[in-house]
Amino acid sequence: MTTTLTPPTPGASKPAPGRSPTSRRGTAARGRRGDGRFVAICLLPALALFALFMIWPTVSVFRMSLYTWSGFSAQMRFVGLDNFSKLIDDEQFLRAFQNTVALLVVVTVVTMGMGLFLAAVMTRQKLRGHTFYRFVLYIPNVLSVVVIAAIFSAVYDQENGLLNGTLRALSLDGLQQVWLGDQKLVLYSVAIAMLWQSLGYYMVIYMSSMASIPEELYEASALDGAAATRQFFAVTLPLIWQNLRTTLTFFILSAVNLSFVLVRAMTGGGPDGASEVLLSYMYKQAYTNSAYGYGMAIGVVIFAFSFLVSLLVSRATRREPLQF
């Protein structure tokens, strides 16, 4: 732990005109060196905690995925990649994986599309009361997931729910569904709840970046005869591209994480595993089924999957940043 090798930065060590420049420079350097040491010592606990609570557990997940362990005892058995080869034959795991990917695609496409559309309408069209709409759309984002689950339990209730009740009132009885009980529908019911929760957040992000686009660009394009749609694709979209790329990564992370909490609170993975997602399956294996090592192997797959998808999306969407 030494900082003596750090040379004083050139700009700061400019010899000052004075009686004894060397001695002053020496004091300053020594002082800076002392400061560096002090800062380092002060940051050490934080770094140690970061290593202990972030880096070490992450490494542990990878290590534990190679063992068979129940989670409590001292009996850990090294099994190499056995846990991973078992995953390939595990139908429930594959189903959970499919569900996660489906949620990822559906929720990303729809949230992004709607978020962009709403943001464009609100910033460009100067809607009356647009702050109110923004407020209303943002509210779900500050609600806890348990509250959202309770709200959607009331919306989806097959007898007195908002959705089926409205359909009945419109004499569309044939369209009524058991939203959380139908194995073909349940995943989309979860997806709608996710969409409702996150739409406002992304809309606000897009709005803020759209607001920073200079008005002249729109005026110029209008003079060239571009309609609102053309403006959106030719001006707005290219100029907020960097922002879009960032939110894509958020989408991937939230599809993995948010789906877990919502599924836990709303369906418990049911009926009969139809809405199981990767994290909920990992939780069940690691804690309920006492197969901790196997659960950690699922964790590794989730880690690798999110990492890879983020990387691919980031690569695929790379463009030369446009300046305005």
Partner 1 sequence: MLRKPIVLAVAAATAISLLAGCSGGDDSADGKKTLKVAAFEGGYGRDMYLQVVEAYRAKHPDVDVQLQLSKTLEDEISPNMKAGKFPDVVVLPQGRKAALAETLVKDKALEDLTGVLDMTVPGEQSTVRSKLADGIVGNLNTNPYNDDKTYLMPMYYAPTGLVYNKALFAQKGWQVPTTWDDMFKLGDAAKAEGIALFTYPTAGYLDSFFFALLADVGGEQFYKDAMTYSEGVWKTPQARQVLDITAKLLTYASKTTVGYANEQDFTKNQQSLLDNKTLFMPNGTWVVGEMKDAPRATGFEWAMAPLPAVSAGGKRYLTTIVESVWVPSGAQNKDAAKDFVAYLYSDEAAGIFAKANAIQPIKGKAATLAAEIAPFYQLYEDPTITALVGGFASTAPVEGVNIKGTLFDTANSIISGDKTVDQWQTALNDASEKLRQAGK
CA-to-CA dists, residue 98 to 34, 94, 186, 187, angstroms: 56, 6, 14, 11
Q: Does 157 bind partner 1 (CB under 8 A)?
A: yes
In angstroms and rounded to an integer, the radius of gyration of the C-alpha atoms of the chain is: 27
Helix extents (H) in the chain = 21-50, 56-64, 82-89, 91-124, 130-142, 145-156, 162-169, 186-211, 215-223, 228-231, 237-239, 241-266, 278-283, 292-316
Query: Which of 203, 189, 202, 180 lies closest to 131 in space, CA to CA?
Result: 203
Q: Which position among 83, 108, 197, 306 is part of the footprint of partner 1 (CB under 8 A)?
A: 83
Least distance (Å) between residue 236 CB and partner 1: 40
Of the pair 53, 132, the CB lying nearest partner 1 is at 53
User: What is the smallest separation between the CB atom of 53 and partner 1, expressed in angstroms?
Assistant: 11
Q: Which of 273, 303, 305, 310 binds partner 1 (CB under 8 A)?
A: 273
User: Does the protein bind partner 1 through residue 182 (CB under 8 A)?
Assistant: yes
Output the smallest distance, CB 237 to partner 1, in A. Answer: 40
Taking the complex as a whole, how short is the minimal distance between the CB of residue 167 and partner 1, in angstroms? 15
Closer to partner 1 by Cβ: residue 178 or 204 = 178
The tokens of 262 are what? 């919502």
Interaction between residue 150 and partner 1 (CB under 8 A): yes
**Contact region with partner 1 (CB under 8 A), list: 65-73, 127-135, 167-175, 195-203:** 65-73
Q: 221 near 235, Cβ under 8 Å?
A: yes
**Phi, psi dihedrals of residue 174, rounded to the nearest 5°:** -65, -20
CA neighbours closer than 13 Å in the CB half-sphere of residue 323? 0
Q: Which is nearer to partner 1, 177 or 257 (CB)?
A: 177
Residue 173 touching partner 1 (CB under 8 A): no
The total number of residues shown for the chain amounts to: 324
Segment lying near partner 1 (by CB under 8 A), choices 37-45, 58-66, 103-111, 114-122: 37-45
Maximum separation of any 2 CA atoms in the chain, in Å:
95
Closest separation between CB of residue 296 and partner 1, Å? 11
Q: Which region among 19-27, 135-143, 146-154, 301-309 touches partner 1 (by CB under 8 A)?
A: 146-154
- The residues in 274-313 that bind partner 1, with binding defined as CB under 8 A, are 274, 284-285, 287-291, 293-294
Q: How far apart are CA 282 and CA 273, in angstroms?
A: 13
Which residues neighbour 281 within 8 Å (Cβ) at sequence distance 6 or greater?
92, 93, 96, 269, 298
Q: Do residues 6 and 12 make contact, with C-beta atoms less than 8 angstroms apart?
A: no
Binding residues for partner 1, rule: CB under 8 A, are 35, 38-39, 41-46, 49, 68, 70-73, 75, 83, 86-87, 90, 92-93, 149-150, 153, 157-159, 178-183, 265-268, 270-274, 284-285, 287-291, 293-294
